[in-house]
Amino acid sequence: MKDRTTEGLWAWRQPENHNHMIGLQEQTGDAPPSGDCIELSYFGGSAFRITAPSGLTLLLDPWRNPPWGTWDWYLYDFPAIAVDVVLSTHAHFDHDGVHQVSAHTILDRLIGTYAFADVRITGIADKHVSDSTHNAYDWAEMTRRLTNVRTTPPDNWRSFDNCLLVVEVAGLRILHWGDNRPNPPDAVWEQLGKVDIVLLPVDGSQHVLSYVQADAIAARLEARLIVPHHYGIWDVTTRASTLLPPDEWVKGRADSMWAESGSYQLDNAFVKQQRNRVLCFGGHVAFDKTDVRSKSKGT
């Protein structure tokens, strides 16, 4: 694995270039490319890739192992992939590995709006969960007792901020919740409005959200599809992460769907027909786990 103590942006070492972005940029004088189908791909943790009809690719919340190097959450390094835009919701290791992918544009903790080709992204500033009493391991309280990190808003440290990311593409509004608190102020709810797809942190340990909180968020957003993330996968995450699969919660929801691979094609018409329905990737990810394990071990 990489030396995490000296990590930084590695763009100067990447052989790729932004010719694809130049091609899309030259189309800005015309109407944005039209299309009604996206591809949603899951990379474990809270990491998703969205492929727009134009071909623009977005990667949200790539993970890495804790930089202090004393214990790991992941069995190997994040896969070496190339995308057009990489984003992060907040400054925690399991969400902020933006330097580990080859990307033309980095939007780390976006607050405000970014628009390019047929995609518009809005970052809404709020706060990370700081009450984990619903979890078997009250990690927020342990953080307060064992470190000097301030977790409780409004005087929290940077790592307990969170940016909700709303991606508008193919006539759909997709919200990545990150690790946001379940009870943001009304002004934030008003900005979020109704969403078509919400990427929501749900796992069997109820690490970020309790099941009740996840249900309430999805209902308030009137989400058509709910996609769990931030859960344990036996051959991706370590037992030390304390994360568990989301199966109990998913099976408790009516008419849940299970993806058969790490990528899923979603067209506008299908999504608009759904009402608070779950789509779960389970243990499927959009990369070859065997290949990544070999490269992480240097074999």
pLDDT, tens digit, 9 for 90 and up, residues 249-297: 999 998 999 999 999 999 999 999 999 999 999 999 999 988 776 777 6
Determine whether 204 is exposed, middle or buried from the number of CB atoms within 10 Å of its CB (0-12, 13-18, 19+).
Answer: middle
In the structure, what pLDDT confidence band is assigned to residue 4 with cuts at 50, 70 and 90? low
Tell me what the mean pLDDT of segment 158-166 comes to. Answer: 97
- Number of domains comprising the chain: 1
For the cut 70, the answer to whether the pLDDT of residue 6 exceeds it is no
For the cut 80, the answer to whether the pLDDT of residue 168 exceeds it is yes
For the cut 80, the answer to whether the pLDDT of residue 215 exceeds it is yes
Q: Which domain holds residue 123?
A: 4-296
Residues 266 and 197 sit within 8 Å (Cβ to Cβ): yes
- Residues 169-213 have pLDDT tens digits of 999 999 999 999 999 999 999 999 999 999 999 999 999 999 999
For the cut 80, the answer to whether the pLDDT of residue 159 exceeds it is yes
Q: What are the strands, taking DSSP E only, across the chain?
A: 37-42, 48-51, 57-60, 82-88, 102-108, 112-116, 119-127, 161-169, 172-176, 197-201, 225-229, 257-258, 263-267, 277-280
Q: Which two tokens stand for residue 113?
A: 């709006």
- Residues 49-93 have pLDDT tens digits of 999 999 999 999 999 999 887 889 999 999 999 999 999 999 999
Residue 2: per-residue pLDDT: 63
Percent of the chain with pLDDT over 70: 93
For the cut 80, the answer to whether the pLDDT of residue 298 exceeds it is no
Residue 227: per-residue pLDDT: 98
| DSSP assignment letter at 297 | T
For the cut 60, the answer to whether the pLDDT of residue 132 exceeds it is yes
- Residues 20-52 have pLDDT tens digits of 999 999 886 665 666 899 999 999 999 999 999
Residue 68: per-residue pLDDT: 83
pTM score of the predicted model = 0.93
| DSSP assignment letter at 18 | S
Which range, of 32-36, 120-124, 155-159, 270-274, averages the lowest pLDDT? 32-36
Q: Who contacts 290 (Cβ-Cβ below 8 Å, separation ≥6)? A: none
Residue 165: per-residue pLDDT: 98
Residue 31: per-residue pLDDT: 59
For the cut 80, the answer to whether the pLDDT of residue 3 exceeds it is no
CATH of the domain at 161: 3.60.15.10
